[in-house]
């Protein structure tokens, strides 16, 4: 098992990563100082697939464990689901010493984490992420929240978990497309911070895709280490943390312009990384060889949904609504070289519009 420490001012927590460690969940948590049963928040699918392993471990150590089932899907990352979690907490007479175990993908982590952030002005929670995306991205860093009718992730807080437990064995029941989606976020971490992770992925991509335990644990742990380092320097999303948004500017615009139906989050980020790498090359920062290296790694993961039929005016409109495009100051995370980032300000709108229309026709498939 690998153990990574996330060190924030005033709050340090472990991320445990390993194959088959779900059955040791209670031991690990007891050693981390928990001495009462958690309230487990999860959904039917995750509980059916992996609930027995977690619950029997927790019940052996802590006694009876209450479970709150929430509906499965991004559309349920909302206020009604949050309310359901609060009701479960009140029903079980939760107090300020109670804690939540958020057991599922990024949706569960975000909404259960937000319930923990707000219930009685904040109780502890432990993340037990079960998708690759959640293991490498959403479970670390403390951003929690829900969607509003006006847009995604508009209501939320920064609330760090007390621990994160990532069992890579549970990824075996995920759809291939979900694995790919998480893998793009790992590639993102490599592109912004680590040429050694990039080389590792180039050598071992097939084993990671096949979820070979040592390969997938290494890739997850390296991505978590990179995210932990960035978050440790900038917990609340100032300049430093913005580098984690590499690929997200165009990625978010693609998700918005397709009403979140065509791409998974990771796939949209993969297109966004290709766009950002192309701009980096065009500005003469990234070499063509480096750009191609990134592109070919992304291509090896699988075929991305194409960009056919996307109107550049819609993507442009979505881009302008993005909070990273503050008041006309177009900022983007670009690569001065692989493993390095720069935040570029003041990109010309005319240039960006022209780039987008060329990019969309390149991605038509
Ligand atoms: N807080 C952050 O920093 C952050 C970062 C990135 C993404 N997010 C959020 O994460 C969410 C996306 O997360 P996601 O991709 O994990 O989606 P998800 O939580 O919807 O999970 C995808 C699907 O996989 C199922 N599933 C989960 N674990 C499984 C397993 N082991 N086997 C089989 N099926 C399983 C889920 O029930 C769901 O149907 C979005 O809401 C996004 O906004 C948050």
Question: Strand, coil or helix: what is 292?
Answer: helix
Contact in structure between 274 and 305 (CB atoms under 8 Å): no
Contact in structure between 150 and 1 (CB atoms under 8 Å): no
Residue 97 to residues 8, 41, 174, 276, Cα–Cα distance (Å): 22, 17, 34, 45
- Atom of ligand 1 lying closest to residue 45 CA: 37
Q: Please tell me the pTM assigned to this model.
A: 0.96
Give the single-character DSSP code of 223. Answer: H
| Most ligand 1 atoms within 8 A of CB, residue of 108, 129, 135, 138 to mutate | 138
Whole-number pLDDT of residue 329:
72
Mean pLDDT by 10 residues, the chain (365 residues): 94 97 97 95 98 98 97 96 97 96 98 98 98 97 94 94 98 97 98 98 98 98 97 81 93 93 96 97 94 97 94 90 68 94 89 91 76
- Atom of ligand 1 lying closest to residue 113 CA: 1
Residue 141's closest CA among 127, 151, 153? 127
Q: How many CA atoms lie within 13 A of 305 on its CB side?
A: 18
Query: Counting Cβ atoms within 10 Å, is residue 158 exposed (0-12), middle (13-18) or buried (19+)?
Result: middle
CB-ligand 1 contact for 267 (6 Å cutoff): no
In tens, the pLDDT along 176-187 reads 999 999 999 999
Enzyme catalytic residues: 121, 143, 185, 227, 237, 241, 245, 248, 252, 265
CB-ligand 1 contact for 133 (6 Å cutoff): yes
């Amino acid at each position: 098992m690998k153990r990574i420490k996330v060190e924030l001012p005033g709050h340090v927590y472990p991320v445990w990563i390993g194959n088959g460690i779900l059955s040791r969940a209670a031991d690990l948590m007891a050693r981390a100082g928990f001495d009462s049963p958690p309230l487990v928040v999860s959904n039917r699918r995750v509980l059916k697939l992996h609930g027995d392993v977690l619950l029997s471990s927790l019940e052996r150590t802590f006694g009876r464990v209450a479970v709150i089932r929430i509906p499965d899907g991004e559309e349920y990352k909302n206020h009604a689901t949050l309310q359901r979690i609060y009701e479960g907490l009140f029903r079980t007479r939760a107090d300020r010493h109670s804690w939540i175990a958020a057991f599922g993908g990024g949706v569960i982590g975000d909404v259960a984490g937000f319930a923990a952030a707000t219930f009685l002005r904040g109780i502890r929670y432990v993340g037990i992420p079960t998708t690759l995306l959640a293991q490498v991205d959403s479970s670390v860093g403390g951003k929690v929240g829900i969607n509003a009718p006006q847009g995604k992730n508009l209501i939320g807080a920064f609330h760090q978990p007390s621990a994160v437990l990532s069992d890579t064995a549970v990824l075996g029941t995920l759809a291939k497309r979900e694995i790919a989606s998480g893998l793009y976020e790992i590639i993102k971490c490599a592109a912004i911070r680590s040429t050694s992770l990039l080389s590792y992925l180039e050598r071992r991509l097939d084993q990671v895709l096949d979820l070979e335990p040592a390969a997938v644990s290494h890739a997850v742990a390296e991505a978590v280490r990179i995210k932990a380092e960035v978050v440790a320097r900038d917990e609340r999303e100032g300049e430093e943390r913005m580098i984690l948004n590499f690929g997200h500017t165009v990625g978010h615009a693609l998700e918005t312009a397709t009403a979140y139906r065509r791409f998974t989050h990771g796939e949209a980020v993969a297109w966004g990384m290709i766009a950002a790498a192309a701009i980096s090359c065009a500005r003469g920062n990234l070499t063509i060889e480096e750009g191609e290296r990134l592109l070919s790694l992304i291509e090896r993961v699988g075929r991305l949904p194409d960009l056919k039929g996307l109107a550049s005016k819609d993507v442009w409109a979505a881009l302008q609504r993005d909070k990273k495009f503050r008041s006309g100051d177009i900022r983007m995370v670009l690569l001065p070289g692989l493993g390095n980032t720069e935040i570029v300000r003041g990109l010309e709108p005319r240039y960006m519009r022209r780039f987008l229309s060329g990019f969309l026709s390149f991605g038509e498939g």
